[in-house]
Amino acid sequence: MSETSFNDVHPREVANKSSKESLRKAIGMALRIESDALRLNTQTFNTNRYTAVGRLDDYQELKDRARQIKESSIQNLPGLIERLTRSIEARGGKVFLARTKAEATSYIRNVCRSFDARLVVKAKSITSEEIGLNPALQDAGIEVAETDLAEFILQVSKEQPSHIVAPAIHRSRERISKLFKEHFNTAKPLDTGEQLTEFARDILREKFLAADVGVTGANLVSADEGTILLVESEGNIRLTTQLPAVHIAIAGIEKIIPCKKDFGTFIELLAASGTGQPLSSYTNILEPPLDLPVLNLNGRKDARREFHLVLIDNGRMKMREDPDLREALYCVRCSACMNVCATFQAVGGHAFGGECYTGGIGGAWTVGTSGNLEEGRFAELCTGCSRCVPNCPVRIDIPRLNTVIKERLMKSEGAPSLEKRFFGNFSSMAKFASLAPALSNWINGLSPSRAVLEKFAGVDRRRSIPPFAKKTLARQYAVYRKKNMPPAALYPDARKLFLFADVFTNYQNAGIGMAAVRVFEKLGFPVALTRVMEDGRSAQSQGLLESARKSAVTLAVYLKKLIDGGADIIVAEPSVLSMFRLDYAKLLDANDVFSVLKAHTFDPLEWLNLSAERYPEFRQLLEQKVRKRATQPMIFYHAHCQLKTIGAGEAAPQFFRRLGLDVETSSVECCGMAGSFGYKKEFYDISRNIGSDLGRQIEKSVQSNAAVTVLASGTSCREQIHDELSRRVEHPIEFIDEML
């Protein structure tokens, strides 16, 4: 498809991602038209979020509490629905439990008709998008005015939401100005945010004053008192609930929690995690029907207020019974997972999303509420970088949900594709290629080979597979050990060290593995090498969960034995370390084995930092080594996404600062290569778009200091930087090896 034709793709046409073609077109459209605004807006939210959660001194405890409340609520959901119904009815409100979209829209339409409503004002509600409320009301001759400014924009542009909190986040101010000028044909100036806001406010104020019925969503609903939490910034929810005499609230059944006092746990978490505010401008705690007298600003003579709570099932009870998708029901729709996601920052929810649900969490929601697995195909855009995991206020393992969807899609399509098998079984391929690495590298570099790989395995021909080492790590280590006796242990109480010979380090990055061995031994820590074993990372990234599970179980038994024998395991490749410290929690049945692995596997620099804390003589040794150096280089360091997630992203900068070096770090969440993701033809453009962000940061750093040394801990990060800047990038441990 040509570039021009992407300009003609309307987001609504490609909202449903059942087909691969639809996903492809949506990606092309988003990268071409929406990406700049998305990056600016999501990154602003993301930066503000870090600041806001940093101000919550009990952030982790709040998250634990929120998770606990949601888990227990979903567990006790049927009872909570009954209790909530009693609470609302006792106050004179009505509750309707809709099993389907059609039941929900039919009920709401009937309420509006019974009230002779001609105009409905509506606040932002993604659940109302899910049930298709607007077309249902409009078909019945009832006008619907979206009053949230983002939804107002979308109503004009006829687009679906691209973000769960800021639905028009994909539109720059300039694109909104153009849209309004064309649509409204007005002489009023519409060239600033203020002018656009005032213009929309004036239109919507007329709607508010004339409205017959107000429709809102609900952030949470408490069963004990039938209280509704509604968070907003603009004030449109306040007017929607106060001005018309009839208020209809639409809430998924997963929004119910037991007690109003538990709102206290969520309100700060929601604001901080979502828009990065201490609290949103208006956090409304409502017990409708309100005591407020009917205002009748619309000229009606309504005598009393009415309230209807429409609870939506529409697949949620089935999700509750699904051991994997159930996790999605804990979502509080804050959008942190979208703002922190490098893919989402590049393409937003019109590509990384479906008809209404977007981002990493959107896959499970789309599958669950549509009942159609194929609509969740956009889950393929989850790279598994895991940056959403520590930033989710209810601790949902979102990458896991997407891996499950990928696995189910694969099973539904029969056997795994050649592409999935190629990337998912990398160890066999690497083992085979390493029999004759020079030949493999030569073939890999040839254009015809790349064309074949692209055609049959989906590897984009503009990417090159990292070369295979002339000699594997296992062979190099054996030669090294014959020539070098292990050093005398300087620190008698230190645990034994094993370097894990993961597939990537053994076959491709043997030099990094050997650098690690030399560094540790120069510093007085003898290092042994483990057997070369598959860890499951490659298989998991392709949704081959069974294969990943088998590798994990075998490897965990082996590693645990070493650890039980008094060893710590050093892992040079961050994506593998992250398996041990994060993903094995779900791949292994035995929690005790996972806990042991989590506690005794380390990034090389993380382990050195811990040793520096533990042994004064080690600190002295480091100081001596550093003092010998005449010049101290400046470092630019990019931490691997998964390394950050497991809490080791700061290990390298910390160690370098310990050595007295100046370190600048990248602020991007992920380089965009993300293992196999950036190699795939279908995702190459997204990957490079994300990578350009990191590239710009490095270029800026190099411009201010040409002698800067660029370091990155992940294999795929180094490949991405190389492709961006044609610049050699080392692993931090190689740099330290050269320093010592």
Rule CB under 8 A: which residues touch other proteins?
Answer: 41, 55, 147-150, 153, 166, 168, 172-174, 176, 192-194, 196-197, 200-201, 204-205, 208-209, 225, 233-236, 238-239, 242, 260-265, 267-268, 277-288, 290-293, 295-297, 299
Tell me how far, at minimum, the Cβ of 241 lies from other proteins, in Å: 8
Tell me how far, at minimum, the Cβ of 354 lies from other proteins, in Å: 22
Q: Which is nearer to other proteins, 207 or 320 (CB)?
A: 207
Tell me how far, at minimum, the Cβ of 7 lies from other proteins, in Å: 21
Task: Tell me which residue of 725, 723, 50, 693 sits closest to 345, measured CA to CA.
Answer: 693
Q: Which is nearer to other proteins, 94 or 421 (CB)?
A: 94
Region class of 631: left (phi > 0), else alpha (psi between -120 and 50), else beta = beta
Tell me how far, at minimum, the Cβ of 53 lies from other proteins, in Å: 13
Distances (CA, A) of 221 to 288, 478, 592: 11, 64, 37
State phi, psi for 243 to the nearest 5 degrees. -80, -55
Describe the crossing of helices 173-184 and 149-157 by its angle, rounded to 10 degrees.
60
Q: Which is nearer to other proteins, 234 or 355 (CB)?
A: 234
State phi, psi for 94 to the nearest 5 degrees. -125, 145
DSSP string, 532-588: E---SHHHHHTT-HHHHHHHHHHHHHHHHHHHHTTEEEE-SSHHHHHIIIIIHHHH-
Tell me how far, at minimum, the Cβ of 305 lies from other proteins, in Å: 11
Contact 733, 687 (CB under 8 A): no
To 5 degrees, how large is the angle CA 122–CA 123–CA 129? 80
Tell me how far, at minimum, the Cβ of 484 lies from other proteins, in Å: 58
> Can you tell me the distance from the alpha carbon of 30 to that of 170, in angstroms, rounded to the nearest whole number?
9
Q: Which is nearer to other proteins, 63 or 463 (CB)?
A: 63
B/e letters for 591-627, b = 16+ CB within 10 Å, e = fewer, are eebbebbeebbbbbbbbbbebbeebeebeebbeeeee
Q: Which is nearer to other proteins, 147 or 508 (CB)?
A: 147
Task: Give the type of residue at 207.
Answer: K
Q: Which is nearer to other proteins, 151 or 723 (CB)?
A: 151
Q: Which is nearer to other proteins, 29 or 62 (CB)?
A: 62
For 359, counting Cβ atoms within 10 Å of its Cβ (0-12 exposed, 13-18 middle, 19+ buried), the class is buried
Q: Which is nearer to other proteins, 241 or 472 (CB)?
A: 241
Q: Which is nearer to other proteins, 41 or 611 (CB)?
A: 41
Give the three-class secondary structure for 440.
Answer: helix
Tell me how far, at minimum, the Cβ of 238 lies from other proteins, in Å: 4
Cβ contacts of 119 within 8 Å, gap of 6 or more: 142, 143, 145, 207, 210, 211, 212, 213
Element holding 690 (H helix, E strand): helix 684-704
Contact 498, 528 (CB under 8 A): yes
State phi, psi for 234 to the nearest 5 degrees. -90, -30
Count of helix runs (H) and strand runs (E) in the chain: 37, 17
Task: Give the type of residue at 61.
Answer: E
> Can you tell me the distance from the alpha carbon of 65 to that of 205, in angstroms, rounded to the nearest whole number?
40
Q: Which is nearer to other proteins, 266 or 618 (CB)?
A: 266
Tell me how far, at minimum, the Cβ of 121 lies from other proteins, in Å: 10
Tell me how far, at minimum, the Cβ of 208 lies from other proteins, in Å: 7
Tell me how far, at minimum, the Cβ of 195 lies from other proteins, in Å: 9
Tell me how far, at minimum, the Cβ of 697 lies from other proteins, in Å: 24
Alpha helical stretches, state H, 185-235? 193-210
Q: Which is nearer to other proteins, 200 or 319 (CB)?
A: 200
Q: Which is nearer to other proteins, 221 or 494 (CB)?
A: 221
Q: Which is nearer to other proteins, 286 or 457 (CB)?
A: 286
Task: Tell me which residue of 107, 93, 122 sits closest to 289, measured CA to CA.
Answer: 93
Tell me how far, at minimum, the Cβ of 278 lies from other proteins, in Å: 4
Q: Which is nearer to other proteins, 55 or 561 (CB)?
A: 55
Tell me how far, at minimum, the Cβ of 171 lies from other proteins, in Å: 8
Distances (CA, A) of 309 to 87, 97, 99, 210, 225: 11, 8, 14, 22, 13
Tell me how far, at minimum, the Cβ of 96 lies from other proteins, in Å: 21
> Can you tell me the distance from the alpha carbon of 681 to that of 458, in angstroms, rounded to the nearest whole number?
6
Tell me how far, at minimum, the Cβ of 262 lies from other proteins, in Å: 8
Q: What six digits make up the tokens of 460?
A: 């984009």
Q: Which is nearer to other proteins, 203 or 418 (CB)?
A: 203
> Can you tell me the distance from the alpha carbon of 628 to that of 461, in angstroms, rounded to the nearest whole number?
46
> What is the radius of gyration, based on Cα positions, of the chain?
28
